Amino acid sequence: AGAKPLAGSESETITEGLDGLRDRVAEYVDLGAKFAKWRAVIRISAEVPTGYAIHTNAHALARYAKICQEGGLVPIVEPEVLMDGDHDLNMCQQVTEETLNSVFGELYAQEVALEGMILKPNMVISGLDAKNRADFDEVADETVNTLLRCVPAAVPGIMFLSGGQSEIDATMHLNVMNVKYRNLPWKLSYSYGRALQASALKAWLGETANIVSAQDALMSRASLNSAACAGEYQPEIT
């Protein structure tokens, strides 16, 4: 699977790879896999996203999820509204809400068992080049409020992507959500890439002698993010 140019759109993409997925799922299950992940990318600019791109990606996410569940895998459903751009928090909120509503509409239509999936969304956050970037509390509030409007309580867990945030910002945002919102219907946790690995990669530098230091850095970031899942992250220890 991978993002390819979307027919009919000059700048948007669709994640392809549904052909043959049932057989690949069977192979992965035989190898011991329990989860799979499918990422759909939604970009924000003056011209995009279009409803067409949101709908086609949502449909593909739901098809993938259904095939995974039929084959015995838990699907991680990842609709990512990118941080790239100068859009403000409000624009990200609008696009994220439209995207999540489309995704869950398709999941319902294709009879995906919501209890047997994980959602991996972006946080509602200002664009990387925005003039006035929202603070931690604003991001936490808009993200949780958007999820409450769009994500059914049957979904057991929401594992945020970091999407270009720094390690500290990603951990802080997660922590603030778990401090301020204690009685949500789903668990708020993390599935970070860069925001979990950046320190480890910096410590490692591709050198065998640095492996232990890199492992220590990774364990440190994982511990801090795990604390944020409980609303117990202490920023001064970073």
Phi then psi dihedrals of residue 16, to 5 deg = -105, 165
pTM of the model: 0.96
Please identify which of the residues 12, 78, 98, 106 carries the catalytic annotation.
Answer: 78
Chain CA centroid to CA 184, Å? 18
Q: What is the pLDDT of residue 226?
A: 97
Residue 186 has pLDDT above 50, yes or no: yes
Phi then psi dihedrals of residue 42, to 5 deg = -120, 125
> Is residue 78 flagged as an active site residue?
yes
Cis previous bond, 156, omega within 30: no
Report the DSSP beta bridge partners of residue 3.
15
Model confidence pLDDT, tens digit, residues 99-149: 999 999 999 999 999 999 999 999 999 999 999 999 999 999 999 999 999
Please identify which of the residues 12, 66, 98, 120 carries the catalytic annotation.
Answer: 120
CA distances from 84 to 90, 93, 121, 160 (A): 15, 14, 15, 17
Q: What is the pLDDT of residue 236?
A: 57
CA distances from 50 to 143, 200, 202, 235 (A): 22, 38, 38, 39
